[in-house]
Amino acid sequence: ETDLFFFRLGTGLVEIGADLGTTVASQNKAFDLQTSDNKVVFTVLDGTDRDLYIWNSGTGQSRVIANSAADEYGATGNSQNDVVFTIVTSGTDHDLSIYDFDTDTVSGVSNSSAIDTVQGVLSGNGDVIFHQDTATEDLRIYDVSADSDSSIATGTSVTQVNVLANDDVAYNDDGTVSSFTQGSGSTAVATGDFNGEAAGGDFVVKVDNAGDDDLVFWDASVD
């Protein structure tokens, strides 16, 4: 049995999930992630699979996020203190859902017959950028407020996905680095490899110029 504890100055150690009853209390727990408002997301191994819970450090109370027969684990939190989590349906099918603590509800981000992987979240609105590995590789965005998703890019190899400081997304689609802005779409920057972010959504692309490595600078403010 592995337990989790939270240390608070003036109080000392507090056991996480102690309010869940004797059955869950005797199961193995593991830290998963912390939300921006200090709630603790943790997994519980029930003997066959991992279930997902959240613990409120302010009240000492726990809630179940997901406890199906599949493995569930947290992928990331967003600026709205939602929890994006993965449901391992099979070795070739990983679905994504999002948990809203304020309403204690779960919404599906993606339940395709593919491996869906979170690539990042937008800091302004909490929307989720995720990769969907189907016959082609699809980079998609999930709109939290609309509870819907749409495609950013589809290719045979979508890699180097980076959510930038201004909430633009830089990505490599079959060798071409592009910049995506929510509401206006994608712009191809250069053939090459993403080579680092500057400030305000600017970034650098490394370009092969007849065997030499050149650097191309993308200025997001002038597009």
- Full pLDDT tens readout for the chain, 223 residues: 889 999 888 888 999 998 998 888 889 999 999 888 889 999 999 888 999 999 998 898 999 999 988 999 988 888 778 899 999 999 999 999 999 999 999 999 998 888 999 999 999 899 999 999 877 889 999 999 999 999 999 988 899 999 999 999 999 999 999 999 999 999 999 999 999 999 889 999 999 988 889 999 999 988 6
d(CA 175, CA 155): 10
How many Å separate Cα 137 from the centre of its chain?
A: 17
pLDDT value of residue 209:
87
| pTM assigned to the model | 0.88
CA angle 90, 47, 87 (to 5 degrees): 30
d(CA 166, CA 169): 9
pLDDT value of residue 9:
84
* Main-chain dihedrals φ then ψ at residue 23, nearest 5 degrees: -65, -50
